[in-house]
Amino acid sequence: MRAFAQHVEEAVSVVLLTVMGILAFTNVLTRYFIHYSFAFTEEIEVALLVWVTMLGGAACFKRGLHLGFTFLAERLPAPLRKAVAALSGALMLLVCAVLFRFSLVHIRDEIEMSITTEALAIPQWWYTLAIPVGCIFIVLRVIEATVSKLRERA
């Protein structure tokens, strides 16, 4: 179970990307053979892409794969390097907090206005929910990465 918890973002992303691939391939086949498009599949694919993006961002924080300007930070003494890591983590948490807050406002507005999707007419907030959920995953992984950097020896 611990292994799954460590790789939940990747596992869910693999499933979502598989679904997206199957939908896109099915749509291509139907367009080619019966000259009919399943337009609703594009709506689902775009919605799933938001989920994959947010989960992928969290997975990258876990592995330290995000682009960073490390040229100066790597040349600092250990205490300053740790301070920069803490500052970087704190700034990322701030960005996630702001994104989380505005995504909740957006979801509230979508619910209050009963906004539905174009093709499937399902509540739009189901798709928008990817942003605050993704922020939670990112916050957890940023905290893990920051704590890990702060525990490193010089």
pLDDT band per the 50, 70, 90 thresholds, residue 49: very high
Neighbouring residues of 37: CB distance < 8 A, sequence distance ≥ 6? 27, 30, 31
Instruction: Give me the number of domains the chain comprises.
Output: 1
How far apart are the C-alpha atoms of 81 and 98, rounded to whole Å? Answer: 26
- Give the least confident one: 4-8, 48-52, 65-69: 65-69
| pLDDT tens figures, 54-90 | 999 999 988 888 777 778 888 889 889 899 999 999 9
Scanning the structure block, which residue is given the tokens 């611990």?
Answer: 2
DSSP secondary structure code for residue 74 in this structure: G
pTM, entire model: 0.88
Across all residues in the chain, what is the average pLDDT? 91
Beta-bridge mates of residue 116: 123
- Residue-range definition of the domain harbouring residue 131: 2-151
Quote the pLDDT of residue 90: 96
